[in-house]
Every structure is written in structure tokens, then in C-alpha cells.
Structure 1
């Protein structure tokens, strides 16, 4: 499976898509397949400043609970309320409808430190 080319990835399976000065954050198809049916999503940070490496959300599935981290510094400006209300959207479409947060990025160059799609796919298996 190849991951979308228009984003950067973390080893912990989060994706970051930059549009202007806003990064949309979600989890990869690989993570969805590992977690199986996602039953609950909580935004740990729903507004305010976040730093690279911060836990910003929690996703629960029938298999496990996973922390979701950000790979950038910035300010959370939006939470996907549709996913909070209907977590199965992540299972159905993790790259479009299933996004978690939008973050106004402080330094877009931080995205260069994250994995390219090819590097992520190689490490994700």
C-alpha cells in the first residue's frame, strides 16, 4: 500500500498535510488496519499551542488505545467534530473525512524533518 504523496508522516503513523500555513493531522491507513474498528476519539488538545511531540488526541479501538502526536509546533485551530461524533469515519476514510486536528504551523520547515511517503511506507511494512 502506498501512502498519499501530499503529506509527511511520523514513525508513530500520524500524517501531516500542509495547506498554506495550516497542517491537517490524522492517522495513516496502516494505523487504521492495525487498530481495526475505531470506537472512540478524544481531542486531548482542542485549542491553543502545541509543540512537536505533544500528545494531541487519543484513539480507541476494539484492540487498543493509541495516543496521537504532532510532529510540529503550532496552534490548534480546529478539531474534526464529525470524527469525534462518528469515529468510524477514520476507518472509512483516514486521509480525507477522518482527519483529527488542524494546526496553524509555526515553522513549516519542521515538516521536512518528518518521513516522506516512500520512507514511511518502507518502515510501516
Structure 2
């Protein structure tokens, strides 16, 4: 089964990191990503751009483009991973690996169904 792991963080905190702090975290996260890739578990993963440059499409018909995501939360969605896991327990274990190297982040684990797969990740038996 496919799972999305959505990575949330306080954007101002992330933006306050020095380039060296950010690079060190990315090295640690890429070690987790490399392990998942070797195991054939990791599909698309993305670090999203800053929310100040985001727009939202809302409303009926063609909709209206408005500035930014307007979530009433302290944390913002800053990235995501798509994984092929046997079950939710495996997805949670993977999120725990990510949290070990980025302990101040929050990870939401959600099952997903790919209806237009854009990645060579093949669904496993799970």
C-alpha cells in the first residue's frame, strides 16, 4: 500500500537555520532517503518552496487564484514523501526514522491511492 508522509514544521524556524545547519540536516535526511530507495520503498519526495510564494485556487467555476495557503496552524506543510509500505506500522516506522534526524518536525502519515502514477515506483504486495 502507498503512504504519504507529510512533513510539517514552523517555516520561520526552518528559514532561520544557517546554510550549514540546513545542509547538515539534509545529509541526515538523505541517508534515510537512500536507505528507502535501496529497499525499493521510496517514490516521489519533495521539499516544497516557501509558503509566501504559494497561491491557492478556490471557488466555483474556474476559481480564483489567491495568495498563499491560509491554514490556521503554527506549522506549514514543507515537504512530502510517497512510500510503498506493507502496512501503516511500516509507514510509521519510516516516519520515526525521519523524526530521529529532524526531531522538531511533525510527520502526518496518510494512506494514498495513486490514480495517475508519475514515478517508476511499483506497488508491492502490501
Q: Structure 2-normalised TM-score?
A: 0.31
Q: Which one has more relative contact order, counting CA pairs under 8 Å at least 6 apart?
A: 2
Bigger CA radius of gyration: 2
TM-score, normalised to structure 1's length? 0.32
More helix by share: 2
